[in-house]
A and B are shown apart, each in its own frame.
Chain A
């Protein structure tokens, strides 16, 4: 057992550093990713944003990143290391970096910090997020139109507000089309394990779902859909190449414009800790081209996406909680605080939320 213990400790401690340029006087912006940049998913998209910064601001900035940083207390060291190495602006891109980043931000008051998808801020710590739930509402509507069984399989990672919000929004969308629509939910307790995601997709299809939705990062589930001749949605990146016949659309992230504006602000000396939540209208949440569906469904999806871009919120009442108690009155819109801390299902979700 000793060898296993050593092995575990070493793997969790393993992270790789990549520094792309060396120059002392340049402004240094740094990123911390929880996955590998080669995941072709969430971390990959953040890194594309970093590359856009390099392209747009050219030789005025140098960038660096740490990938494969485990969420939780272990992330302290990653942020501290970057701060010590002269990073002036540090982006932590995953929910689980929240507390470590808060801690390190207090230690380095002159360094600017930004944290994605969390809710804690500080004098030198801003937060930013994308309203992925906006896109998930559209996915729900498409799923309800395209599913013959009326059952979707939903592969999820961890019960954090971001994910719960996504499930709720998806179901609200689906049930706006088909009130009897059901989703079978499977938690794989990992953001990234292609094998597990494929296994979960197979299990869900075997149990009668005919559309797959995921809140995990790899293309594995869509590939299973392709093999079985069924449909699904991509996540983070456009995954059409992996599933040309199966992908209906993909919920993609585009962080580039935001990162460019923040680094520019820092260069100009106008950076202030912000609290922004970007959506479809800002171009941070995008839906890949609608494919493998009839024209009327496509038209509906486009219309819904436009309605949301024009300011309509999928969490507009009347909405009841899962147990039937009223949550939002008719016409009432959920406030951002409630959404960011969402820890309950809305009516119609057929699953028990892990606590």
Chain B
């Protein structure tokens, strides 16, 4: 039983940063903006979180710094694409490249220094319940944030008026604009929310997953988060499922290897990616459904007529 619990806990740790970053990006894309800079915002969150935690000795300050770092960094993207109407794909890609380089420079002094780790939840009486105790009451704080965040985004997008407005902007910014909705303001806030989420995901890496700072430590997780949003066809609960499937396949293949199952390790390592491709193919088979779910003005610049 113990090993099952351990495996589940490992899966949760692996899935959490993907989930948070993808949920943030989902809101951004629902508002009609495509931000390919997730990887860059994530690594900035990781270096900011680690740095603040290391310098102050408090991982909680680190956590706040990670969120702030992601948000501030995304502001750069927002100004470029929303106020100056630059190409979103190009700007997003350069945001990633900039983030990877800048974080390496900022983190020079942190290399080789052990950092602070956010403590796991420990509720006397509850955490010690066999099996479910550690799963429900013994994980790191960001895990709970990620679940709450998913629920909140689900509620916000589909149950509130503001959420409806946001989705309508994503579907047709010109119509929304004609109705007097402040398209640019909504999009600014969405992009900043996405940045904060990516920053938090980065903070999870450097404050929980592997409490250390090393360059490129996100190792492509930002791109996986981006893929998850498409994979989930812009639905929050599917992002949750996708992140956990991805985590489960990944952890499962490690266990299969350690167990000595004679399947080539290269094949096992590529399983999570193969799974993504298969799901994408299955989803795109139904063209109508895909069209319905994709925010129609995704990636198109919007310049309000004056």
- Partner of A207 from B96, B219, B255 at Cβ < 8 Å: B255
Q: Give residues 1-47 of A contacting B (CB, 8 Å).
A: 1, 3-4, 6-8, 10-11, 14, 16, 35-40, 44
Q: A195–B254 contact, CB under 8 A? A: no
Of the listed stretches B72-80, B97-105, B123-131, B159-167, name the one at the interface; the rest are far from the partner chain: B97-105
Cβ contacts under 8 Å, B230 to chain A = 1, 4
Cβ contacts under 8 Å, A204 to chain B = 258
Of the listed stretches A171-179, A185-193, A310-318, A332-340, name the one at the interface; the rest are far from the partner chain: A185-193
Q: Give residues 7-40 of B contacting A (CB, 8 Å).
A: 7, 10, 13-14, 17, 34, 36, 39
Determine how close the nearest CB of chain B comes to the CB of A46; give it in whole angstroms.
Answer: 14
The yes or no answer to B89 lying at the interface (CB within 8 A) is: yes
- Partner of A7 from B93, B255, B262 at Cβ < 8 Å: B93
Cβ contacts under 8 Å, B217 to chain A = 194-195, 218
Number of A-B contacts defined by CB within 8 Å: 155
Q: B266–A195 contact, CB under 8 A? A: no
Q: A38-B215, A192-B216 are in contact. Are A6 and B114 (CB under 8 A)?
A: no
Of chain A, the residue at the smallest CB distance from B4 is A206
Cβ contacts under 8 Å, B209 to chain A = 194-195, 198
The yes or no answer to A84 lying at the interface (CB within 8 A) is: no
Q: B108–A199 contact, CB under 8 A? A: no
Q: B262–A352 contact, CB under 8 A? A: yes
Q: A199–B14 contact, CB under 8 A? A: yes
Cβ contacts under 8 Å, A218 to chain B = 210, 212, 214, 217
Contact with B along A35-69 (1 / 0, CB 8 A): 11111100010000000000000000000000010
Q: A203–B227 contact, CB under 8 A? A: no
Q: B36–A7 contact, CB under 8 A? A: yes
The yes or no answer to A348 lying at the interface (CB within 8 A) is: no
Q: A206–B114 contact, CB under 8 A? A: no
The yes or no answer to B293 lying at the interface (CB within 8 A) is: no
Determine how close the nearest CB of chain B comes to the CB of A325; give it in whole angstroms.
Answer: 20
Q: Give residues 161-216 of B contacting A (CB, 8 Å).
A: 205, 209-216
Q: B212–A219 contact, CB under 8 A? A: yes
A44 to B212 CA separation, bound complex (whole angstroms): 15
Of chain B, the residue at the smallest CB distance from A40 is B112
Q: A187–B255 contact, CB under 8 A? A: no
A196 to B17 CA separation, bound complex (whole angstroms): 13
Determine how close the nearest CB of chain A comes to the CB of B53; give it in whole angstroms.
Answer: 15
Q: Give residues 59-92 of B contacting A (CB, 8 Å).
A: 89
Q: A195–B10 contact, CB under 8 A? A: no
The yes or no answer to A220 lying at the interface (CB within 8 A) is: yes
Q: B93–A202 contact, CB under 8 A? A: no
Determine how close the nearest CB of chain A comes to the CB of B91; give it in whole angstroms.
Answer: 12
Instruction: Among A194, A241, A350, find the residue whose CB has the most chain B CB atoms closer than 10 A.
Output: A194
Q: A38-B108, A242-B114 are in contact. Are A14 and B97 (CB under 8 A)?
A: yes
Cβ contacts under 8 Å, A39 to chain B = 111, 214-216
Q: B111–A185 contact, CB under 8 A? A: no
Q: A207–B108 contact, CB under 8 A? A: no
The yes or no answer to B251 lying at the interface (CB within 8 A) is: yes
- Partner of B10 from A38, A44, A188, A206 at Cβ < 8 Å: A206
A184 to B257 CA separation, bound complex (whole angstroms): 8
Cβ contacts under 8 Å, A185 to chain B = 257-258
Q: B104–A36 contact, CB under 8 A? A: yes
The yes or no answer to A153 lying at the interface (CB within 8 A) is: yes
Of chain A, the residue at the smallest CB distance from B107 is A38
Determine how close the nearest CB of chain B comes to the CB of A218; give it in whole angstroms.
Answer: 6
Q: A195–B219 contact, CB under 8 A? A: yes
The yes or no answer to B56 lying at the interface (CB within 8 A) is: no
Cβ contacts under 8 Å, B251 to chain A = 199, 203
Determine how close the nearest CB of chain A comes to the CB of B47; give it in whole angstroms.
Answer: 10
Of chain A, the residue at the smallest CB distance from B10 is A202
The yes or no answer to A351 lying at the interface (CB within 8 A) is: yes
Cβ contacts under 8 Å, B112 to chain A = 40, 44, 237, 241
Cβ contacts under 8 Å, B254 to chain A = 186, 188, 199-200, 203
Q: A36–B3 contact, CB under 8 A? A: no
The yes or no answer to A252 lying at the interface (CB within 8 A) is: no
Cβ contacts under 8 Å, A202 to chain B = 6, 10
The yes or no answer to A269 lying at the interface (CB within 8 A) is: no
A13 to B266 CA separation, bound complex (whole angstroms): 23
Of chain B, the residue at the smallest CB distance from A186 is B257
Cβ contacts under 8 Å, B219 to chain A = 190, 192-196
A77 to B230 CA separation, bound complex (whole angstroms): 34
Instruction: Among B89, B100, B213, B254, find the residue whose CB has the most chain A CB atoms closer than 10 A.
Output: B254
Of chain B, the residue at the smallest CB distance from A238 is B112
Q: A38-B214, A68-B216 are in contact. Are A350 and B260 (CB under 8 A)?
A: yes
Cβ contacts under 8 Å, B269 to chain A = 187-189
A268 to B45 CA separation, bound complex (whole angstroms): 48
Of chain B, the residue at the smallest CB distance from A243 is B114
A153 to B262 CA separation, bound complex (whole angstroms): 17
Of chain B, the residue at the smallest CB distance from A221 is B210
- Partner of B223 from A4, A37, A242, A355 at Cβ < 8 Å: A4
The yes or no answer to A223 lying at the interface (CB within 8 A) is: yes
Cβ contacts under 8 Å, A199 to chain B = 10, 13-14, 250-251, 254
A223 to B214 CA separation, bound complex (whole angstroms): 14
B-side residues, CB < 8 A to A, are 3, 6-7, 10, 13-14, 17, 34, 36, 39, 89, 93, 96-97, 100-101, 104, 107-108, 111-114, 205, 209-217, 219-221, 223, 226-227, 230, 250-251, 254-255, 257-260, 262, 264-266, 269, 280, 299
Q: Can you offer 10 A-B residue contacts whose CB atoms are under 8 A? A: A3-B34, A10-B93, A10-B97, A184-B259, A187-B266, A196-B250, A209-B258, A237-B112, A352-B262, A355-B264
Query: Considering the complex of A and B, which 10 residue pairs feature the smallest CB-CB distances, nearest first?
Result: A36-B215, A187-B265, A38-B215, A193-B219, A203-B254, A194-B210, A220-B210, A189-B269, A38-B111, A206-B6
